[in-house]
Structure 1
Amino acid sequence: PANLHKWPPVEAGKRYVAAIGGADAVLEKAKASFDEGDYRWVAELVNHLVFAEPGNDGARQLQADAFEQLGYQAESGPWRAFYLTAAQELRNPMPASDFPRPAGADTVRGLPSNELLDSMSVRLNGPNAGEKEFTFNLTVSDTGETYLVTVTNAVLHHEPGKKAAGADANIQIERLALAQLALGEKTVEEAMADGARITGRPEALTELLGLLDVFDFWFNIVEP
């Protein structure tokens, strides 16, 4: 039961560090364990300090040294890659960016229509969507597929082969153009200028696209 409702890593880290006697005490004990070759314990112990104080350079360097040793000892190729990548991140943090750095745009452009809509559902920002509701009749013109796309209770659903009366917009668009909209490579107005047909309220589609998160590919793996 002690593992059922544990504190998140940052909050747990702060409590562990305080219980041990502060950052200096954690580093002292961890360095002693490192000298004894107990790299697994160093990694576990110092991880709490890194999460409690991400800017603590002593903790970052010691954690990197421990991961490096664990990487050298690992028989598994993936484990070795995880350890050494983590050590690199601790020593050379990824520079902050004001804009997300997405990856996989080519993959998104190649997705079948249903999977493209799935990806949009995953990216919908629930808190921002809130109580907003949308209904779209979507026709993928180059494949002949039709979908009823709805947003309700902050969730995007798509149902193949269905339509709704009184939809916010009726959309006829090629699959690639839909992917470009989802990726932010085109605006609704640009898609319409390139041949997409959208009747009703095109601005509703623009609003929906504005609720999609863009995930940063370069996420941290050993930091909060």
Structure 2
Amino acid sequence: MKITIEWTYKTKNGIETTFRSEEMPPAHALTIGEDLEKTGRVKKIQFIDQHDSTWMAKELKKYIKEIETEPHNVKVYFDGGYDIQTSHAGLGIAIYYEQNGKQYRLRRNAPASGLNSNNEAEYAALHLAIVELDLLDVHHQTVQFIGDSQVVINQMSGEWPAYEKELAGWADRIDEKLNNLGITPEFQLVPRKSNSEADRLATQSMQGIEITGQIELQ
């Protein structure tokens, strides 16, 4: 979940105006909101989520306390590779998240069969990542999905239509899975060099190297 702060500011001579912040994590919004109130110039402050629901500060505090024990602030990097000569495909994902005040990284790769293109491999990697989110019990929150595939990112974000039957099928399955988990996706397109970890995992899978691991980040 992301929160926007909206507040009314009043000057010493009584002039009022309303400000609205950019979206931010709930804990950041609460900290800034409490700091604004200390100025003594804020007449009204609201915390608004992505669905335009308004939260009181005490409700936001309760929510933050509840999610501390669950994975949150989740970022997912994904990539898929496909060898047209052998029809072998490899999938790679790296998931970063926070839980109980600590930061973690989960990495996994996997081979895939029955695919016919690199675009399908990219979609399969995204689907694998969502399966892992389900296993991590990530639900009812906003998750960032980061990849270097223009096709997947633009189709999943609604910028491009999915005309190919196979790709449209993957998109539908992914949307259904996200809806079932209550995940609001944010898709971000990055250059390949910024997705090197997932790319390397996908390549290693195609080379027969299996990687599955989870570590706490220092």
Normalization by structure 2: what TM-score?
0.27
Bigger Rg over Cα? 1
The structure where strand makes up a greater share of residues is: 2
The structure where helix makes up a greater share of residues is: 1
